[in-house]
């Protein structure tokens, strides 16, 4: 039976990427050596790293003056690296509080300076994105989270910041067009739309660094990794290789412009059924609904066992909602085919009819 993978992360990946990656584990570049046993400083892997960086630059139209890094530690490490590299001694930063991961980023920044919390939607369990706040001119930087996987909300537009602009795009990077020039740092864990867990994409504007007056630990200094081409220490070879394959797949598909259209079609299809079907309702404010993570509730709890039986029997995986929200969450990352969404919609219709 074909599986329909709606997991919130690690993400679904294209079958052709998984096949290429599995082949490389056994025999990389026809050298009769595994990808994960060759030197990370060998010419074959340096070519992988260079290609991954070039593809990221091409797909996101990253302007000159920015460095692209593949680091370790996940987005959680960036929660600390961002204030270390941008917040001045006795400085302050502004953060939006739109969910669990934004809250964790705030907690790390507070260890280094003052944090002004803007756009706090915790009053309704983060089911909407606040707008219309003013970012303090004297803040060292402004930090936001573009998409909130747990609650199914997404920033459709970004505010203009009078200070440096930082965004955690872990769960919607490469899913829609963005103007990188409006940001000073963008970071994203690979496991939501790019590859397996283990590497983090960081896009950083070169001329903003080295101005905090801090003595930054070597491993946590962006300049360290820029100067060494993401190879200051042994990089996570396999996640970077699979990310490179996945970015090449995206380019072959038509790039970010093409996938944005497909992602919109998938989300329109599912949200239309949620709004039409009296058995279901969306849990996020309509104007802030995420195209990546569709969160919804079953209005009649007596139908829950039947619904669960139906989607399990159809080969659907990973649609149980996060424990803090309940209900269901259909994560529809780039590689999820629209056919999987059609299967889920058909099941929702069948539940209504029967």
Q: What is the pLDDT of residues 277-316, one digit of tens each?
A: 999 999 999 999 999 999 999 999 999 999 999 999 999 9
Point out the catalytic residue in the list 140, 168, 172, 221: 168
- Is 311 tagged catalytic? no
Domain boundaries, the chain: 15-253, 255-353
Which of helix, strand or coil describes residue 98? Answer: coil
Q: Is the dihedral of CA 247, 156, 64, 260 positive or negative?
A: positive
Active-site residue identified among 92, 172, 184, 192:
192
Count CB atoms within 10 A of the CB of residue 179: 10
State the catalytic residue, choosing from 101, 205, 249, 311: 101
d(CA 314, CA 311): 5
| Distance (Å, whole) CA 149 – CA 274 | 18
**pLDDT value for 1:** 64
Model pLDDT, residue 354: 84
**Has 268 been annotated as catalytic?**
no
Architecture of the 15-253 domain: 3-Layer(aba) Sandwich (3.40)
Q: How far apart are CA 279 and CA 273, in angstroms?
A: 10
101: annotated active-site residue: yes
Going 206 to 200 to 232 to 140, the CA torsion angle's sign is positive
> What is residue 2's predicted lDDT score, i.e. its pLDDT?
77
Taking the C-alpha atoms of residue 77 and residue 80, their distance in angstroms, rounded to an integer, is: 6
* pLDDT per residue of the chain (354 residues) written in tens, 0 to 9: 679 999 998 989 999 999 999 999 999 998 899 999 998 989 999 999 999 999 999 999 999 999 999 999 999 999 999 999 999 999 999 999 999 999 999 999 999 999 999 999 999 999 999 999 999 999 999 999 999 999 999 999 999 999 999 999 999 999 999 999 999 999 999 999 999 999 999 999 999 999 999 999 999 999 999 999 999 999 999 999 999 999 999 999 999 999 999 999 999 999 999 999 999 999 999 999 999 999 999 999 999 999 999 999 999 999 999 988 899 999 999 999 999 999 999 999 999 998
Q: Are 307 and 353 in contact (CB under 8 A)?
A: no
Which residue has tokens 């309702």? 281
Q: How far apart are CA 117 and CA 125, in angstroms?
A: 16
Helices (H) and strands (E) in the chain, counts: 9, 14
- Kindly state the tokens that stand for 213: 């007056």
Indicate the pTM of the whole model.
Answer: 0.96
Q: CATH number for the 255-353 domain, one of 1.10.3720.10, 3.90.1150.10, 3.50.50.60, 3.40.50.300?
A: 3.90.1150.10
Q: Widest CA span of the chain, in angstroms? A: 66
What CA–CA distance (Å, rounded) separates 303 from 315? 19
Sign of the torsion formed by the C-alpha atoms of 5, 11, 14 and 19? negative
Q: pLDDT at position 160, please?
A: 94
SS3 (DSSP) at 147:
strand
């Amino acid at each position: 039976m074909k599986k329909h993978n709606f997991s919130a992360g690690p993400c679904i990946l294209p079958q052709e990427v998984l096949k290429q990656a599995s082949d490389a584990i056994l025999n990389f570049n026809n050298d009769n050596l595994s990808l994960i046993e060759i030197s990370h400083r060998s010419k074959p892997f340096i070519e992988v790293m260079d290609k991954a960086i070039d593809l990221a630059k091409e797909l996101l139209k990253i302007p000159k003056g920015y460095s692209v890094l593949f680091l370790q530690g996940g987005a959680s490490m960036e929660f600390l690296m961002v204030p270390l590299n941008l917040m001045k001694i006795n400085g302050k930063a502004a953060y939006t509080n739109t969910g669990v991961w934004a809250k964790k980023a705030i907690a790390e920044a507070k260890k280094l300076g003052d944090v002004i919390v803007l756009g706090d939607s915790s009053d309704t369990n983060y089911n909407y994105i606040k707008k219309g706040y003013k970012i303090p001119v004297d803040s060292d930087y402004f930090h936001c989270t573009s998409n909130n996987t747990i609650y199914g909300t997404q920033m459709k537009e970004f505010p203009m910041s009078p200070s440096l602009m930082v965004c955690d795009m872990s769960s919607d990077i490469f899913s829609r067009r963005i103007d990188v020039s409006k940001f000073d740092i963008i970071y994203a864990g690979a496991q939501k739309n790019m590859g397996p867990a283990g590497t983090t994409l960081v896009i950083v504007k070169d001329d903003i660094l080295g101005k905090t007056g801090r003595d930054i630990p070597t491993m946590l200094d962006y300049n360290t990794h820029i100067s060494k081409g993401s190879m200051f220490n042994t990089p996570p070879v396999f996640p970077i290789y699979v990310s490179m394959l996945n970015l090449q797949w995206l380019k072959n598909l038509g790039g970010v412009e093409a996938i944005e259209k497909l992602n919109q079609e998938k989300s329109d299809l599912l949200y239309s059924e949620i709004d039409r079907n009296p058995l279901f309702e969306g849990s996020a404010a309509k104007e802030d609904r995420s195209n990546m993570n569709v969160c919804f509730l079953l209005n009649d709890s007596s139908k829950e066992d039947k619904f669960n039986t139906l989607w399990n029997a159809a080969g659907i995986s990973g649609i149980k909602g996060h424990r803090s929200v309940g209900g269901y969450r259909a994560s529809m990352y780039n590689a999820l085919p629209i056919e999987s969404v059609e299967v889920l919609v058909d099941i929702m219709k069948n539940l209504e009819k029967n």
